[in-house]
Structure 1
């Protein structure tokens, strides 16, 4: 089990090895970042985008949350962490691609599918329940077609990626960038069990990369 002292030990190893080996790279990054890709991923500890894609510091701009979800555009006010990250990536960093990365055995997706947090209060699962409510329409369709077992889980993991992509397109600045050919959006699901990455195709199906 990794605790904070283990993290500090890891920092010492990083500072004495990787940082020194990439010293020039870190010096360049100190003056700013120019990532070309944004990844929207799940907070799950098993799904680290940099590990999966082998990216180096400064190459990808990442936002992580429960189930890798993106809410639809909403200008009515409030605290919108994901929307703020997307806005910054597209309008300030000018990323050229966004990847929505779902994954297998996702707890947030499972909670949505089984409705296990339906009556939970904030602090007892209620915050999560409200957040994964973004999957309600997809969940109802998947449950009707595939049930709430393993087949439904896999189907909703894929459907969740598509929901987030559809919601991304409700942001005016994203649609503008798409129309101008300045931005592309991709979807993928990483399977923890077999390590395979399945990428969303134009026809709506997910195929192994």
Structure 2
């Protein structure tokens, strides 16, 4: 099992390196957590929000699922890891910010555009963005230059932000000024991060001076 052995080797490096170097931080974290930000990210192995944002242990409360989606509360029936994580973050941890963190070239979004008939759980999960998908496909039919993958990746983030506000504890915390919501999209290929301007509904590239790092 070379894959699992690689994980164990990684643990050994972690235990003798970063863990030892940040021992005081881990001692504090052993007493509890108090992150100020919740990040809702995709399960994609290529995009780790803690790496993209260079976050320290304990800094972010992270929920990951296929295509970083948040179902509306009306779609919750019985157990839901998304609803439970949201409730915990907002009412127990009292985070200040929730970020829906999408990424380019998302496999879940690709599956929504080309449904996988043999994969009922994937198809069922992605069906929640069917209205957004249909609008994107309609736009593409009128304007062939529309990039359906990119458009739906962005639409999925907007939809998840709208769905977050269907949860009473999220809506009430935001109305009271205790909580803010935001969206971001990371491009794996070029490293660009785009931030959603909720006033315009458009994603704007975060400016960065790469030469400053030389």
Give yes or no for TM over 0.5.
yes
Q: Does 1:206 align with 2:200?
A: no
C-alpha offsets along residues 24-55 of structure 1, whole Å, 9 cap, x if unaligned?
00000000000000000000000100000000
CA contact (8 A) 1:190 1:196 kept: yes
Whole-Å separation in 2 of the counterparts to 1:35 and 1:106: 27
Residues 205/31 of structure 1: CA separation in 2 closer, same or farther (3 Å cut) = same
Partner of 2:211: none
Are positions 1:128 and 2:122 aligned together? yes
Q: Does 1:174 align with 2:170?
A: yes
C-alpha change, 1:192 and 1:173, in structure 2 (3 Å) is same
Kept in 1: contact 2:42–2:68 (CA 8 A): yes
- Segment of structure 1 superposing worse, 68-77 or 129-138: 68-77
Gaps of 5+ in 2: 207-214
Structure 2 CA distance for partners of 1:98 and 1:6, relative to 1, 3 Å: same
CA separation of 1:40 and 1:2: change in aligned 2, threshold 3 A:
farther
RMSD: 1.7
**Take 2:169 and 2:29, find their aligned partners in 1: how far apart are those partners?**
27
Q: Provide the C-alpha distance between the structure 1 equivalents of 2:164 and 2:131, rounded to a whole number of angstroms.
A: 17
Structure 1 window deviating more from structure 2 (41-50 vs 138-147): it is: 138-147
Structure 1 residue 79: deviation in Å? 1.6
Match of 1:160 among 149, 156, 163: 156
Structure 1 residue ranges (4+ consecutive) displaced by more than 4 angstroms after TM superposition: 147-150
Name stretches of at least 5 consecutive residues in structure 1 with no aligned partner: none
